[in-house]
Structure 1
Amino acid sequence: MPSSIARPAALAVAGLIAILPLSMVSCSAAQKAIDCGNTAVKVTGDIADLAKAYDNSSNDSAAGGKALQKLRGDLDQIGRNSKNTDVAKAVSDLQKQADKVQQAVDKKQAPDLKPLGDAAGNLTSVCTG
Protein backbone atom coordinates (compact mmCIF):
# COMPACT_ATOMS: atom_id res chain seq x y z
CA MET A 1 0.00 0.00 0.00
CA PRO A 2 2.70 2.61 0.73
CA SER A 3 3.90 2.48 -2.88
CA SER A 4 0.36 3.04 -4.19
CA ILE A 5 0.13 6.22 -2.08
CA ALA A 6 3.66 7.38 -2.89
CA ARG A 7 3.18 7.22 -6.67
CA PRO A 8 0.14 9.58 -6.80
CA ALA A 9 1.86 11.90 -4.35
CA ALA A 10 4.99 11.98 -6.50
CA LEU A 11 2.88 12.69 -9.59
CA ALA A 12 1.06 15.48 -7.77
CA VAL A 13 4.34 17.07 -6.68
CA ALA A 14 5.72 16.78 -10.23
CA GLY A 15 2.56 18.42 -11.55
CA LEU A 16 2.85 21.28 -9.07
CA ILE A 17 6.48 21.83 -10.01
CA ALA A 18 5.50 22.04 -13.67
CA ILE A 19 2.64 24.49 -12.98
CA LEU A 20 4.40 26.60 -10.33
CA PRO A 21 6.31 28.94 -12.70
CA LEU A 22 3.07 29.80 -14.50
CA SER A 23 1.19 30.47 -11.29
CA MET A 24 3.99 32.61 -9.86
CA VAL A 25 3.19 35.33 -12.38
CA SER A 26 -0.41 35.62 -11.26
CA CYS A 27 0.55 35.23 -7.61
CA SER A 28 3.01 38.11 -7.80
CA ALA A 29 0.34 40.33 -9.35
CA ALA A 30 -2.12 39.27 -6.68
CA GLN A 31 0.48 39.89 -3.96
CA LYS A 32 1.18 43.34 -5.41
CA ALA A 33 -2.52 44.16 -5.30
CA ILE A 34 -2.77 42.91 -1.71
CA ASP A 35 0.29 44.91 -0.64
CA CYS A 36 -1.03 48.01 -2.35
CA GLY A 37 -4.45 47.56 -0.78
CA ASN A 38 -2.92 47.11 2.66
CA THR A 39 -0.90 50.29 2.11
CA ALA A 40 -4.01 52.24 1.16
CA VAL A 41 -5.88 50.92 4.19
CA LYS A 42 -2.98 51.83 6.50
CA VAL A 43 -2.72 55.37 5.13
CA THR A 44 -6.48 55.86 5.22
CA GLY A 45 -6.50 54.74 8.85
CA ASP A 46 -3.68 57.16 9.67
CA ILE A 47 -5.58 60.02 8.03
CA ALA A 48 -8.75 59.10 9.91
CA ASP A 49 -6.75 59.13 13.16
CA LEU A 50 -5.32 62.51 12.21
CA ALA A 51 -8.75 63.97 11.46
CA LYS A 52 -10.12 62.58 14.71
CA ALA A 53 -7.18 64.02 16.65
CA TYR A 54 -7.71 67.49 15.20
CA ASP A 55 -11.45 67.29 15.78
CA ASN A 56 -10.70 66.54 19.44
CA SER A 57 -7.76 68.92 19.76
CA SER A 58 -9.38 70.70 22.65
CA ASN A 59 -9.23 67.42 24.57
CA ASP A 60 -5.67 66.40 23.63
CA SER A 61 -3.57 68.90 21.72
CA ALA A 62 -0.64 66.47 21.38
CA ALA A 63 -2.77 63.82 19.66
CA GLY A 64 -2.73 65.65 16.32
CA GLY A 65 1.04 65.87 16.35
CA LYS A 66 1.37 62.19 17.21
CA ALA A 67 -1.09 61.19 14.47
CA LEU A 68 0.74 63.33 11.90
CA GLN A 69 4.08 61.84 12.96
CA LYS A 70 2.67 58.31 12.56
CA LEU A 71 1.31 59.13 9.09
CA ARG A 72 4.63 60.61 7.99
CA GLY A 73 6.54 57.59 9.32
CA ASP A 74 4.23 55.18 7.50
CA LEU A 75 4.54 57.20 4.28
CA ASP A 76 8.34 57.16 4.56
CA GLN A 77 8.32 53.39 5.01
CA ILE A 78 5.89 52.85 2.13
CA GLY A 79 7.94 55.14 -0.11
CA ARG A 80 11.13 53.22 0.62
CA ASN A 81 9.49 49.84 -0.03
CA SER A 82 7.48 50.71 -3.15
CA LYS A 83 8.86 49.52 -6.46
CA ASN A 84 5.81 50.65 -8.43
CA THR A 85 6.30 54.15 -9.88
CA ASP A 86 2.59 55.04 -9.73
CA VAL A 87 2.41 54.07 -6.06
CA ALA A 88 5.64 55.96 -5.34
CA LYS A 89 4.21 59.09 -6.99
CA ALA A 90 0.96 58.82 -5.04
CA VAL A 91 2.94 58.41 -1.81
CA SER A 92 5.07 61.43 -2.73
CA ASP A 93 1.89 63.48 -3.23
CA LEU A 94 0.67 62.32 0.16
CA GLN A 95 3.96 63.34 1.75
CA LYS A 96 3.64 66.84 0.24
CA GLN A 97 0.14 67.17 1.67
CA ALA A 98 1.33 65.92 5.08
CA ASP A 99 4.06 68.61 4.93
CA LYS A 100 1.38 71.25 4.30
CA VAL A 101 -0.58 70.00 7.31
CA GLN A 102 2.61 70.21 9.38
CA GLN A 103 3.22 73.77 8.18
CA ALA A 104 -0.29 74.80 9.22
CA VAL A 105 0.18 73.19 12.63
CA ASP A 106 3.55 74.94 13.05
CA LYS A 107 1.80 78.26 12.36
CA LYS A 108 -0.88 77.32 14.91
CA GLN A 109 -3.52 77.26 12.17
CA ALA A 110 -6.23 74.69 11.68
CA PRO A 111 -4.96 72.33 8.96
CA ASP A 112 -7.03 71.69 5.84
CA LEU A 113 -7.19 67.90 5.69
CA LYS A 114 -9.22 67.70 2.47
CA PRO A 115 -6.18 67.76 0.11
CA LEU A 116 -4.61 65.03 2.25
CA GLY A 117 -7.77 62.94 1.91
CA ASP A 118 -7.82 63.57 -1.84
CA ALA A 119 -4.21 62.38 -2.12
CA ALA A 120 -5.13 59.25 -0.17
CA GLY A 121 -8.00 58.70 -2.59
CA ASN A 122 -5.50 58.94 -5.44
CA LEU A 123 -3.38 56.24 -3.79
CA THR A 124 -6.46 54.03 -3.52
CA SER A 125 -7.20 54.65 -7.22
CA VAL A 126 -3.64 53.71 -8.16
CA CYS A 127 -3.93 50.53 -6.14
CA THR A 128 -7.25 49.49 -7.64
CA GLY A 129 -6.70 50.79 -11.17
Structure 2
Amino acid sequence: MATRRSRTVIATVVFASVALLTPAAVGCSALDKALDCVQTADAIADSVTDLQQAVETAANDPLKADQALDDIEKNLDEIGDKTDDSDVNKAVDDLNEAVGNVRTAIKNGDETPDISPVTDAAGELTKVCTP
Protein backbone atom coordinates (compact mmCIF):
# COMPACT_ATOMS: atom_id res chain seq x y z
CA MET A 1 0.00 0.00 0.00
CA ALA A 2 2.84 2.38 0.70
CA THR A 3 4.05 1.90 -2.87
CA ARG A 4 0.64 2.73 -4.28
CA ARG A 5 0.43 5.87 -2.17
CA SER A 6 3.96 6.91 -3.23
CA ARG A 7 3.02 6.54 -6.88
CA THR A 8 -0.06 8.66 -6.34
CA VAL A 9 1.96 11.35 -4.60
CA ILE A 10 4.65 11.26 -7.29
CA ALA A 11 2.04 11.42 -10.05
CA THR A 12 0.37 14.37 -8.33
CA VAL A 13 3.69 16.20 -7.94
CA VAL A 14 4.62 15.57 -11.58
CA PHE A 15 1.19 16.70 -12.78
CA ALA A 16 1.36 19.85 -10.64
CA SER A 17 4.88 20.62 -11.92
CA VAL A 18 3.80 20.25 -15.53
CA ALA A 19 0.74 22.39 -14.90
CA LEU A 20 2.90 25.12 -13.38
CA LEU A 21 5.60 25.02 -16.04
CA THR A 22 3.34 24.90 -19.10
CA PRO A 23 2.20 28.56 -18.87
CA ALA A 24 5.82 29.64 -18.44
CA ALA A 25 6.85 27.74 -21.55
CA VAL A 26 3.94 29.16 -23.52
CA GLY A 27 4.81 32.65 -22.24
CA CYS A 28 8.39 32.27 -23.41
CA SER A 29 7.20 31.06 -26.79
CA ALA A 30 4.94 34.09 -27.14
CA LEU A 31 7.79 36.34 -26.06
CA ASP A 32 10.13 34.72 -28.60
CA LYS A 33 7.55 35.27 -31.36
CA ALA A 34 7.09 38.89 -30.34
CA LEU A 35 10.85 39.42 -30.32
CA ASP A 36 11.14 37.85 -33.79
CA CYS A 37 8.32 40.11 -34.98
CA VAL A 38 10.00 43.22 -33.56
CA GLN A 39 13.37 42.31 -35.08
CA THR A 40 11.85 41.63 -38.47
CA ALA A 41 9.75 44.80 -38.30
CA ASP A 42 12.96 46.67 -37.56
CA ALA A 43 14.58 45.12 -40.65
CA ILE A 44 11.52 46.18 -42.67
CA ALA A 45 11.87 49.72 -41.35
CA ASP A 46 15.46 49.73 -42.61
CA SER A 47 14.27 48.47 -46.00
CA VAL A 48 11.60 51.18 -46.12
CA THR A 49 14.32 53.77 -45.50
CA ASP A 50 16.31 52.20 -48.35
CA LEU A 51 13.18 52.37 -50.52
CA GLN A 52 12.72 56.07 -49.74
CA GLN A 53 16.31 56.78 -50.73
CA ALA A 54 16.02 54.61 -53.84
CA VAL A 55 12.87 56.41 -54.99
CA GLU A 56 14.57 59.77 -54.51
CA THR A 57 17.44 58.65 -56.76
CA ALA A 58 15.45 56.40 -59.11
CA ALA A 59 16.73 58.16 -62.19
CA ASN A 60 20.31 57.23 -61.25
CA ASP A 61 19.69 53.61 -60.24
CA PRO A 62 16.19 52.23 -60.84
CA LEU A 63 17.20 48.76 -59.60
CA LYS A 64 17.72 50.01 -56.03
CA ALA A 65 13.99 50.45 -55.54
CA ASP A 66 13.35 46.89 -56.76
CA GLN A 67 15.97 45.57 -54.34
CA ALA A 68 14.42 47.48 -51.43
CA LEU A 69 10.97 46.14 -52.35
CA ASP A 70 12.40 42.60 -52.56
CA ASP A 71 13.94 43.01 -49.10
CA ILE A 72 10.65 44.17 -47.63
CA GLU A 73 8.77 41.24 -49.18
CA LYS A 74 11.36 38.75 -47.90
CA ASN A 75 11.00 40.10 -44.37
CA LEU A 76 7.21 40.06 -44.64
CA ASP A 77 7.33 36.39 -45.61
CA GLU A 78 9.47 35.77 -42.54
CA ILE A 79 6.98 37.43 -40.20
CA GLY A 80 4.03 35.73 -41.86
CA ASP A 81 5.62 32.33 -41.34
CA LYS A 82 6.25 32.94 -37.64
CA THR A 83 2.96 34.31 -36.38
CA ASP A 84 -0.68 33.47 -36.17
CA ASP A 85 -1.61 36.83 -34.65
CA SER A 86 -4.46 38.34 -36.66
CA ASP A 87 -3.30 41.95 -36.14
CA VAL A 88 0.21 41.12 -37.33
CA ASN A 89 -1.15 39.19 -40.31
CA LYS A 90 -3.39 42.13 -41.29
CA ALA A 91 -0.45 44.54 -41.05
CA VAL A 92 1.66 42.16 -43.16
CA ASP A 93 -1.12 41.93 -45.77
CA ASP A 94 -1.50 45.72 -45.88
CA LEU A 95 2.23 46.21 -46.28
CA ASN A 96 2.40 43.54 -49.00
CA GLU A 97 -0.37 45.35 -50.88
CA ALA A 98 1.38 48.72 -50.53
CA VAL A 99 4.67 47.20 -51.76
CA GLY A 100 2.86 45.66 -54.73
CA ASN A 101 1.34 49.03 -55.62
CA VAL A 102 4.74 50.74 -55.55
CA ARG A 103 6.25 47.94 -57.64
CA THR A 104 3.44 48.33 -60.21
CA ALA A 105 3.89 52.10 -60.30
CA ILE A 106 7.61 51.70 -60.96
CA LYS A 107 6.98 49.14 -63.71
CA ASN A 108 4.49 51.55 -65.27
CA GLY A 109 7.19 54.22 -65.49
CA ASP A 110 6.35 56.32 -62.45
CA GLU A 111 9.74 57.75 -61.46
CA THR A 112 8.47 59.03 -58.10
CA PRO A 113 5.80 56.64 -56.85
CA ASP A 114 3.90 57.47 -53.69
CA ILE A 115 5.48 55.33 -51.00
CA SER A 116 3.53 56.85 -48.09
CA PRO A 117 1.22 53.78 -47.94
CA VAL A 118 4.36 51.65 -47.50
CA THR A 119 5.67 53.80 -44.67
CA ASP A 120 2.23 53.92 -43.04
CA ALA A 121 1.82 50.14 -43.24
CA ALA A 122 5.36 49.58 -41.93
CA GLY A 123 4.55 51.85 -38.98
CA GLU A 124 1.41 49.85 -38.28
CA LEU A 125 3.38 46.60 -38.42
CA THR A 126 5.91 47.97 -35.96
CA LYS A 127 3.06 49.02 -33.67
CA VAL A 128 1.37 45.59 -33.64
CA CYS A 129 4.69 43.80 -33.19
CA THR A 130 5.60 45.77 -30.08
CA PRO A 131 4.96 43.59 -27.03
Question: TM above 0.5, one fold?
Answer: yes
Q: Residue 47 of structure 1 corresponds to which residue in structure 2?
A: 48
Q: Residue 31 of structure 1 corresponds to which residue in structure 2?
A: 32
TM-score of the pair, normalised by structure 2: 0.74
Q: Does 1:57 align with 2:58?
A: yes
Q: CA deviation at 1:18?
A: 9.0
RMSD: 2.2
Q: CA deviation at 1:103?
A: 1.3
Q: Residue 123 of structure 1 corresponds to which residue in structure 2?
A: 125
Aligned length: 114
Percent identity over the alignment is 39
The superposition leaves residues 64-92 of structure 1 with CA deviations (integer Å, 9 ceiling, x where unpaired) of 11211222222233223322121111100
Return the structure number with greater relative CO, CA threshold 8 A, min gap 6: 2
What SS does structure 2 have at the residue aligned with 1:83? coil
How far apart, CA to CA, are the structure 2 residues paired with 1:122 and 1:75?
Answer: 13
Structural mapping, 1:1-129, within 5 Å: 20-109=21-110, 110-128=112-130
What SS does structure 2 have at the residue aligned with 1:112? coil
Structure 2: gaps spanning 5 or more residues:
1-16
TM-score of the pair, normalised by structure 1: 0.75
How far apart, CA to CA, are the structure 2 residues paired with 1:27 and 1:78?
Answer: 18
